[in-house]
């Protein structure tokens, strides 16, 4: 009879001891915090825009004649949209006609309309006109058959 009482009590006592240890060990669980510093540096350059003029479909330029339309696209390979704040075109005449006396200054680009911005990884169109101005009192025959090259610069 005594054995029947003793065993459960001893078992209970051992269990109580273990539970007490486990409970306090769990209570001792800790957390930690971390701190530090670093930097994030921006790139020093981006990819240039690519400007391509479409094939010229206008009439041959003649002194004082109507301005002829030009058009093209501006491509942007960057990961961000590029706003166009400046868009200009310069005119050059092929060397043969330039040497013959055809001046690039006789040509002009009366209108040039760029897109407001070029989307990231995309392209946008531009348009404009080019003409050969009539220089009164000056023989412009040197420009007959000349090839005019427009060079566009966007920023």
Partner 1 sequence: MRRYVITAAVVLLVAIGVLSGRHMALSLSASQAPGHSFRISGTAAGLMPGKAVPLTVTVTNPDAQPIRVTSTTVTAQAAGRDCPSSLLAITSFTGTPQTIVPARGHADIHLSITLSVQASDACRRVSFPLSFTGRAEQWQ
C-alpha triplet 34, 35, 41: angle, nearest 5°: 135
Contact between 62 and partner 1 by CB under 8 A: the answer reads: no
Among residues 30, 116, 136, 139, which is the contact residue for partner 1, using CB under 8 A?
30
Q: Which residues of 112-147 are buried (b: 16+ CB within 10 A; e: fewer)?
A: bebbebbeeeebbebebbbbbbeeeeeebebbeebe
Q: Residue 135 CB, nearest distance to partner 1 (Å)?
A: 40
Size of residue set near partner 1 by CB under 8 A? 43
Query: Judged by CB under 8 A, which stretch of 28-36, 66-74, 91-99, 134-142 contacts partner 1?
Result: 28-36
Calpha distance 53→112 (Å, rounded): 12
- Interface residues toward partner 1, by CB under 8 A: 2, 5-6, 9-10, 12-14, 16-25, 27-46, 78-81, 120
């Amino acid at each position: 009879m005594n054995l029947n009482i003793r065993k459960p009590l001893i078992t209970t006592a051992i269990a109580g001891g273990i539970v007490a240890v486990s409970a306090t060990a769990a209570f001792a669980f800790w957390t930690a915090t971390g701190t530090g510093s670093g930097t994030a540096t921006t790139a020093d350059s981006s990819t240039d825009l690519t400007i391509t003029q479409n094939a010229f479909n206008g009439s041959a330029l003649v002194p004082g004649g109507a301005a002829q339309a030009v058009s093209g696209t501006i491509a942007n390979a960057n990961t961000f949209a590029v706003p166009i704040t400046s868009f200009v075109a310069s005119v050059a005449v092929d060397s043969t006609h330039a040497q013959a006396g055809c001046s690039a200054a006789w040509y002009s680009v009366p209108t040039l309309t760029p897109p407001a911005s070029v989307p990231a990884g995309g392209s946008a169109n531009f348009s404009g006109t080019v003409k050969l101005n009539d220089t009164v009192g000056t023989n412009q025959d040197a420009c007959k058959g000349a090839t005019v090259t427009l060079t566009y610069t966007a920023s």
